[in-house]
Structure 1
Amino acid sequence: MRTIKRKNKDGSEVEYVQLAHNTRHPEKGYSRAEVIHSFGRRDQLDVAALKRLVGSLGRFISPGDAQFIEAERRGIKFESSRSAGGAIVLKGLWDRIGIDKCLADALKDRSFTTPVRDAVFAMVANRALAPCSKLAVEEWAEYDVYLGSEKPIQVQHLYRSMDFLLAHADTIQEKVFWSTAHLLNLTVDLIFFDTTNTYFEMEGPGDSELLAYGNSKHKRNDLPQVIIGLAVTREGIPVRCWVLPGNQNDAKCVKQVQKDMNDWKLGNVIWAMDRGMTSEENRKTLQRAGGQYILGEKLRGPHLNEAALNRGGRFKVIKENLHIKEVYAGEGSGRRRFVVAFNPEQAEHDVIRTPGGGVP
């Protein structure tokens, strides 16, 4: 785009707007402006027509290219760019839930030079937006995303911050949960708990209190592992997590979990756990202080389970693939309530037909 000025006979000056491009004279070699289109007088421009033209041309370039062109026109030089949207949303949630304040309270009596709060947020944001190793987080935080950190995040900051989190895990988890419960108006009357495990590619656990050989859910009994437990509300909001010794079975985790949660004074809650947690000792543990439980039971096992399965009664149809009936088995203090579930579709699928056509 260029403008040219012309003087009228009365001495006034008029400015015209033109679209032109430079071409080289084929014989003399110098460049000259070739007018492609004249938009008329500047003071009488059809701005709407210009907008339509820009919009039409803009279809052939990306928004990033358009910004780059505009920056060059204004004399601005792009050095680099980093995404910010996802991190801004996460930081808003981070502050709204009160995690930053929890960390600040835990740090107030400590003379840390490591930017712990920024480092912890960097690790959480990375896990949510672009999961990678701790070493790669350093480069990601510096070049790929804008986190608003006051100081550059280095990998040593990440590891030191994890040490800090480990030392204050109980307090921070409790404060964050109650802040979340208040914000979301959660009713903590039912808690689901389950575990998994993860193994480590190493020769041996050494003197570790956590790393040990156990029954791996990943079929790697030859490698040391830890058990990871998670408790969530009925809405699926995390309540607390645990890292436990890898040589424990699921049933042995319940006592530690119940003890830790009793310290939070949640009141009477119902614990829901799968059949891996079922044992007489665990039932007694979960019933202490008036607690209640819903435990999965093995289809074949203790005599009470057999008695519950053999107890008569009609099934209530909840939906096509879920029929239930409520029965009681046992006597006195050992009397228990069972909900027997039956899935007709699964039952038909599980039938194993013999070569002769019979059903064993």
Structure 2
Amino acid sequence: MYLRKIQRRNKDGSVVRYLQLAHNRRKDGTTQAEVLVNFGREDRLDVDGLRRLVASINRYLGDEDDAAAPLGAEAGPLTVESSRPLGAGWLLDGLWRLLGIDTALASRIGGRKFRTDIERTLFALVANRAIAPASKLAAADWAIFDQVIPGLQTLAEQHAYRAMDLLIEADTQGAVQEAVFFSAAHLLNLEVDLVFFDTTSTYFERDEADDPDGEGSSLRQYGHSKDHRKDLPQIVIGLAVTREGIPVRCWIWPGGTNDQTVITEVKDGLRDWRLGRVVTVCDTGFSSEANQAYLRRAGGHYITGIKMREGSNLADQALSRQGRYQQVRDNLRVKEVRLDGDDGRRWIICHNPAEAERDAARREDQLAAIREELGRIKAARGADARKTKAKAVKDGKRPAAPSDTPHRKAECALRDHPALGRWLKQHPTTGRLSINTAKVAAEARLDGKYLLATSDPDLSAEDVALGYKNLLEAERAFRTMKSTLDLRPVYHRLDERIRAHVLLCWLALLLIRVAERRTEWTWPKIAAELGRIHQVTLSGPAGSLQQTTRLTDTQAKLFKDCGVSLPPKMSGLKTPE
């Protein structure tokens, strides 16, 4: 006679276990288990009832002394000391070590000794950006009380700031980023023949910018805000990524920096890494003649967008060239043309039929709104004139000209509208507004089209177009940094802390991009699934240990796909001295 456990799996993947009292009996030459009593589900078991049963059996057997103490009394009851999420942090730590970031930081920080583990502190800050972004003070509490960070015993706010300072000291000329990227590139077998570069801005919660020549930060300055917060000082961030979206390197400049002035620094920084033959892909904001010439230095090449509006001579030439479009995909056609003064450059016109329809529909909606507003203003002007005339007739006076001030204000507001004003022209004599039909016709020629220039003689027109479309990976990286990683707003005051904050976000972006690429899941979905894995600390008179909650098949597969070992079922066993 013995206690037997059986289990069954539900449709949702959960496992339910049952406890039975059984004994074996022989039937037809085979031994079969016969169930005598079903005690029910293990998680709903009447443990005290079992203890009473054991005690009564022991009394019958004459073992009253052993039965006097309840089951497990020798060791005493176990107490749950804490329960903290483990899964997402364990995955990030596994990728952190797999990519060699721990060794890269150790080699750059040097052999200096500190009371705290700088590498573990930096990992905790990076994991915080990926899982639950917060301030450095909140991150220190989070890493100790709200999340399991493998290998981290203690963390205070001053430790976090000290680690950030050391990170920036070690990243002179991008040394840490270089070591980390080449380790990741070797592990993931990344292709770095195309490097996509773009910039964005992020703002500070502060009303005034710093004086560049003063004692404050030289980075926080006013400029063109891509976050639509021109009322706040900001910094400009540059980011280079591979075609797979893996970040290569980041740069930080003062908030008033113009995009056209940063390409030389980007080119020189990547050239020192000796990446080999690299084609730099950037958008129209970096397409000046000087930048294109600089990108071709030392055998480099570029793919860049060219502005087709604002009266561009290149756009007029390209559109006037005859030729047949080549179908690349359902939503993309390309045509290579030759322009005057090519100077080794190639020109490709890209046409997106679906986008052309959207451009036409958007323009027609705006023109309809303009016609409606102009009609309303004209009707209001006529109504005012009739009222003035009727009042003059009633009073027996000569009609005076009605006031035109309200209508002029309405027209001025329409002319200054950020979206509608571009379609209007003002009559030189009357000052009245009307739709600029020439502008409408010129814009209609550009529906769904964009112009690319490249210096690479070997890439096909199709490869150039598809390569430029992958520039969306840089934009997606910025969206992830600003939303998932909470890059903004920034509250740091010192330049070194500002740079360290951005670099921590860069490291977090690298980890989650690798996780997404290996699992084909989005990071929020990965973090939510693995966040259900907890590490429970149990303690009793015999000591304490940590036990990991049971993993589902889905959770185990996420670790396996990322090449990270599963969390241990039990760890941290401590016994009294």
TM bucket normalised to smaller: 0.7 to 0.9
Q: Hey, what does 2:110 align to over in structure 1?
A: 108
Amino acid at match of 2:191: T
Matched, 1:245 2:247: no
Deviation at residue 150 of structure 1 after TM alignment = 4.7
Q: Size of the alignment, in residue pairs?
A: 313
**Aligned partners of 1:176, 1:50: CA distance in 2, in Å?**
63
Deviation at residue 257 of structure 1 after TM alignment = 0.9
User: Is the 2:25–2:33 Cα contact (8 Å) retained in structure 1?
Assistant: no
Q: Hey, what does 1:159 align to over in structure 2?
A: 161
Q: Hey, what does 2:284 align to over in structure 1?
A: 275
**Aligned partners of 2:123, 2:218: CA distance in 1, in Å?**
28
Amino acid at match of 1:219: H
Residues 1:128 and 1:74: Cα distance change in structure 2 (over 3 Å): farther
User: Is the 1:231–1:239 Cα contact (8 Å) retained in structure 2?
Assistant: yes
Residues 1:51 and 1:137: Cα distance change in structure 2 (over 3 Å): farther
Deviation at residue 111 of structure 1 after TM alignment = 3.9
- 237-246 or 338-347, which deviates more: 338-347
User: Is the 2:23–2:33 Cα contact (8 Å) retained in structure 1?
Assistant: no
**Aligned partners of 1:130, 1:42: CA distance in 2, in Å?**
54
Amino acid at match of 1:257: V
User: Is the 2:196–2:242 Cα contact (8 Å) retained in structure 1?
Assistant: yes
Paired-residue identity, %: 44
Deviation at residue 51 of structure 1 after TM alignment = 10
Q: Hey, what does 2:269 align to over in structure 1?
A: 260
Q: Hey, what does 2:206 align to over in structure 1?
A: 202
Amino acid at match of 1:184: L
Deviation at residue 156 of structure 1 after TM alignment = 1.1
Deviation at residue 52 of structure 1 after TM alignment = 6.8
Amino acid at match of 1:312: Q
SS at match of 2:196: strand
SS at match of 1:223: coil
SS at match of 2:143: helix
Matched, 1:175 2:185: no
TM-score of the superposed pair, with normalisation by structure 1? 0.78
Greater relative contact order structure (CA < 8 Å, 6+ sep): 2
**Aligned partners of 1:211, 1:344: CA distance in 2, in Å?**
42
**Aligned partners of 1:129, 1:337: CA distance in 2, in Å?**
45
Amino acid at match of 2:334: I
1:309-355 deviations in Å (ceiling 9; x for gaps): 2211011122332111111212262x531111112222233224466
Deviation at residue 47 of structure 1 after TM alignment = 7.3
SS at match of 2:79: coil
Deviation at residue 97 of structure 1 after TM alignment = 0.8
SS at match of 1:148: coil
Amino acid at match of 2:196: F
Amino acid at match of 1:146: V
SS at match of 1:94: helix
**Aligned partners of 1:39, 1:343: CA distance in 2, in Å?**
72
Q: Hey, what does 1:123 align to over in structure 2?
A: 125
Deviation at residue 139 of structure 1 after TM alignment = 1.5
Matched, 1:184 2:188: yes
Deviation at residue 273 of structure 1 after TM alignment = 0.6
**Aligned partners of 1:234, 1:184: CA distance in 2, in Å?**
13
**Aligned partners of 2:36, 2:321: CA distance in 1, in Å?**
83
User: Is the 2:219–2:255 Cα contact (8 Å) retained in structure 1?
Assistant: yes
Deviation at residue 292 of structure 1 after TM alignment = 0.5
SS at match of 1:182: helix
Amino acid at match of 1:194: D
SS at match of 2:222: coil
SS at match of 1:177: helix
User: Is the 1:308–1:327 Cα contact (8 Å) retained in structure 2?
Assistant: yes
SS at match of 1:82: strand
SS at match of 1:329: coil
Residues 1:152 and 1:47: Cα distance change in structure 2 (over 3 Å): farther
**Aligned partners of 2:187, 2:125: CA distance in 1, in Å?**
23
User: Is the 1:227–1:246 Cα contact (8 Å) retained in structure 2?
Assistant: yes
Amino acid at match of 1:218: D
**Aligned partners of 1:247, 1:138: CA distance in 2, in Å?**
33
Residues 1:332 and 1:215: Cα distance change in structure 2 (over 3 Å): closer
User: Is the 2:284–2:304 Cα contact (8 Å) retained in structure 1?
Assistant: yes
**Aligned partners of 2:263, 2:36: CA distance in 1, in Å?**
72
Residues 1:175 and 1:42: Cα distance change in structure 2 (over 3 Å): same
User: Is the 1:115–1:157 Cα contact (8 Å) retained in structure 2?
Assistant: no
Amino acid at match of 1:319: R
Deviation at residue 235 of structure 1 after TM alignment = 1.2
Query: Which of 323, 326, 329 is residue 316 of structure 1 equivalent to?
Result: 326
Residues 1:49 and 1:157: Cα distance change in structure 2 (over 3 Å): farther
1:238-283 deviations in Å (ceiling 9; x for gaps): 1101111111122222111111111111122000111111111110
**Could you say which structure has the higher helix fraction?**
2
List runs of 5+ in structure 1 lacking aligned partners: 1-14, 18-37, 62-69
Deviation at residue 49 of structure 1 after TM alignment = 4.5
**Aligned partners of 2:237, 2:101: CA distance in 1, in Å?**
22
Q: Hey, what does 1:292 align to over in structure 2?
A: 301
**Aligned partners of 1:285, 1:325: CA distance in 2, in Å?**
26
User: Is the 2:22–2:35 Cα contact (8 Å) retained in structure 1?
Assistant: no
1:281-317 deviations in Å (ceiling 9; x for gaps): 1101111111100101111244223212221101112
Q: Hey, what does 1:325 align to over in structure 2?
A: 335
List runs of 5+ in structure 2 lacking aligned partners: 4-19, 27-31, 46-70, 212-216, 372-436, 442-577
Deviation at residue 152 of structure 1 after TM alignment = 0.3
SS at match of 2:262: helix
